[in-house]
Chain A
Amino acid sequence: MKKILLLVLGPLLWGCATGPEIVKGKGNIFGQVDARPHKEFLAKAQSGATGDYMISDDDKITFTPEMVNYDALEEIYVGLIHPDHIDPAEHVLTIDNDRPSLRSILVGQGDVLKVRNNSARTLSFYLIDTASDDIQEYPALRPGQTAELPVNLEGSLELGADEDDALIVNILSVKNLVSRQVRSGGLYEFTGLDPGTYDVLFWFWRLGKIERPVVVQSGNNYRIDETLSVDRIIRQ
């Protein structure tokens, strides 16, 4: 299936893409990522239903405060996976008033979480694999302190603190991954890529992930747009 997708998507994308400046002998992957409500919700909205289905003059859904505002999601992540990616990246997380600055982070396994404790109490962080009993524990972080916490686990993780049960950050840790954070409708790019086969991973913690394979050839741009929604991710 993956090979078929490569065969179909590769030439198609190669033929029509424009994008970032290309360095000789390299290729780029770029695109736009959106999130949207369930397709059945969209269909009902477009049929003129009332209630939660208000449509603005520019044909967009007007999200009420109780609703998930898919146009304003700020923690959508795009990751690029390739076996040669081994350099750890740093992700900044701040705890202010017992609230984390991010609710989710996509990391490469081996990346570092640079955590600053701006709360009034000491926090003893841990990282848990939600699918197993595997765990990482970190030294206690006093108020005002910053620490670099390496992510050695892989998979769907939770960063928590012993002193605050409500402080949870969803972490998706993937081997050989470089990540970008974008907001809904935002653009991303991975440039200067060596020719080869890559996987582009799109993730929003509440909606799940979609992976798209791309074969990069030197001298080319590849545009990979994606839309995250429940009906695209969960296929019955």
Chain B
Amino acid sequence: MCKLRCFDQLHERSLQTEAKIGGASLPGGRLPDYTMRANEDIEYECVQISCSYPKRADYLGYRAFGSGAMRVTTASASLAVLLSVLAFGETAAGTVSGHVQVEDNKALSNIIVYLESANGSRTGQAHAKRRVSQKGREFAPDRVVLVQGGEVAFVNDEEKEIDHNVFSLSEVRQFDIGLAQRGSVNEVTFPEAGEVKYYCSVHKNMEGVVVVVPTPYFAHVDDSGRFRIENVPPGDWVIKAYVAHHRYVSEPFPVSVSEAPLDGLVVAVVKKKRGK
């Protein structure tokens, strides 16, 4: 038995939704329990969302967890919040939380704490997609986190006839989507983990970053330095952090996850040193 839930990761609350699974409509609100067979390929489509707070048209994404394979798609380009579609399997999952300690207490933004399999196995198969809009000659959001193997949909949402050419020269992922006209959607997959900077070759101030993490088990560090990763399968992991500021690097360490919450972890972020 799995439970599916539309979840607003940005504001940490459930959404009023109407959804379809396997073509059958489901009522709004928290979705009912759904029996998920092993290796079942589920088509899950959020078709309508209402929110009680201002919509953020610039965020859209999914995370999928579960004991079976899962495919998540959306037909609505007007979805307005960052979504997580969570499927909780029968296996009890753990929680990993703590805070990030930056050397010299430097105030750093854009730190992502994530878990990597300790034995090097691939754990990033969960399908994930992010949406990056181009509007007003800006990328929105200009920084997204993606699970390895996931896709970013670059959408030209300009109100006027303004074309863009999104490209990247990153060693992790090079791409050139060509000239994208208003209304066009170009999907780019990111098979390798790492940082991918991208630009628009037409407009000089358009720059963005895709941070590709190896597993779906990641969390943004909040302003107070805290993080919380939920639904982590039990087992041995290595905890790491992506730090946008290249002067700094995290000091990874192993963690063993069980049903009991793993709280109070301290992830050190230090200045890079010669020879490290």
Stretch from A14-22, A77-85, A133-141, A192-200 that touches the partner = A133-141
| 6 A-B residue pairs with CB within 8 Å | A68-B202, A126-B247, A133-B249, A162-B247, A165-B245, A230-B167
A151 → chain B closest CB, angstroms: 14
Q: Which residue of B lies closest to A126 (CB)?
A: B247
- A67-B202 contact in complex given A38-B179, A135-B274, A234-B176, C-beta closer than 8 Å: yes
Query: Are A137 and B201 within 8 A (Cβ)?
Result: no
Q: Which residue of B lies closest to A40 (CB)?
A: B179
Quick check: is A48 within 8 A (CB to CB) of the other chain?
Answer: no
Q: Which residue of B lies closest to A165 (CB)?
A: B245
Quick check: is B256 within 8 A (CB to CB) of the other chain?
Answer: no
For the complex, what is the distance from the CA of A44 to the CA of B181, rounded to whole Å?
11
Query: Are B163 and A67 within 8 A (Cβ)?
Result: no
Query: Are B176 and A68 within 8 A (Cβ)?
Result: no
Quick check: is B273 within 8 A (CB to CB) of the other chain?
Answer: yes
Quick check: is A8 within 8 A (CB to CB) of the other chain?
Answer: no
Query: Are B204 and A67 within 8 A (Cβ)?
Result: yes
Query: Are B204 and A68 within 8 A (Cβ)?
Result: yes
Quick check: is B30 within 8 A (CB to CB) of the other chain?
Answer: no
Q: Tell me which of B161, B199, B201, B246 contacts A37 (CB under 8 A).
A: B201
Query: Residues 27-64 of chain B: 1 if any A CB is under 8 Å from the residue's CB, otherwise 0?
Result: 00000000000000000000000000000000000000
- A128-B247 contact in complex given A50-B161, A67-B204, C-beta closer than 8 Å: yes
Query: Residues 29-45 of chain A: 1 if any B CB is under 8 Å from the residue's CB, otherwise 0?
Result: 00000000110110010
Which residues of chain A are near B273, meaning CB under 8 Å?
135, 137
Q: Tell me which of A44, A128, A236 contacts B176 (CB under 8 A).
A: A236
Which residues of chain B are near A207, meaning CB under 8 Å?
169, 201
A205 → chain B closest CB, angstroms: 9
Quick check: is B13 within 8 A (CB to CB) of the other chain?
Answer: no
Give me the 5 closest cross-chain CB pairs, A-B, nearest first: A40-B179, A234-B176, A208-B169, A135-B272, A68-B204
For the complex, what is the distance from the CA of A130 to the CA of B160, rounded to whole Å?
37
For chain A, the count of residues having a C-beta within 8 Å of the partner chain is 35
Query: Are A68 and B247 within 8 A (Cβ)?
Result: no
* B→A interface (CB under 8 Å): 137, 160-163, 165, 167, 169, 171, 174-176, 178-179, 199, 201-205, 245-247, 249, 272-274, 276
- A51-B161 contact in complex given A66-B204, A234-B167, C-beta closer than 8 Å: yes
Which residues of chain A are near B201, meaning CB under 8 Å?
37-38, 41, 68, 207, 229-230
* A→B interface (CB under 8 Å): 37-38, 40-41, 44, 50-52, 66-69, 126, 128, 130-131, 133-137, 156, 158, 160, 162, 165, 206-208, 229-231, 233-234, 236
For the complex, what is the distance from the CA of A68 to the CA of B206, rounded to whole Å?
10
Q: Which residue of A lies closest to B108 (CB)?
A: A165
- A160-B199 contact in complex given A50-B161, A233-B169, C-beta closer than 8 Å: no
Most chain A beta-carbon neighbours within 10 Å: one of B199, B202, B245: B202
B108 → chain A closest CB, angstroms: 9
Query: Are A231 and B176 within 8 A (Cβ)?
Result: yes
A155 → chain B closest CB, angstroms: 10
For the complex, what is the distance from the CA of A231 to the CA of B169, rounded to whole Å?
11
Query: Are A40 and B202 within 8 A (Cβ)?
Result: no
Which residues of chain B are near A133, meaning CB under 8 Å?
249, 272, 276
Query: Are A38 and B169 within 8 A (Cβ)?
Result: no
- A66-B205 contact in complex given A128-B246, A130-B246, C-beta closer than 8 Å: yes
For the complex, what is the distance from the CA of A137 to the CA of B273, rounded to whole Å?
8
Query: Are A41 and B171 within 8 A (Cβ)?
Result: no
Query: Are B203 and A66 within 8 A (Cβ)?
Result: yes
A64 → chain B closest CB, angstroms: 9
Query: Are A160 and B247 within 8 A (Cβ)?
Result: yes
For the complex, what is the distance from the CA of A136 to the CA of B247, rounded to whole Å?
11
Query: Are B204 and A137 within 8 A (Cβ)?
Result: no
For the complex, what is the distance from the CA of A137 to the CA of B163, rounded to whole Å?
42
Which residues of chain A are near B205, meaning CB under 8 Å?
66
Which residues of chain B are near A231, meaning CB under 8 Å?
176
A130 → chain B closest CB, angstroms: 6
For the complex, what is the distance from the CA of A134 to the CA of B205, rounded to whole Å?
29
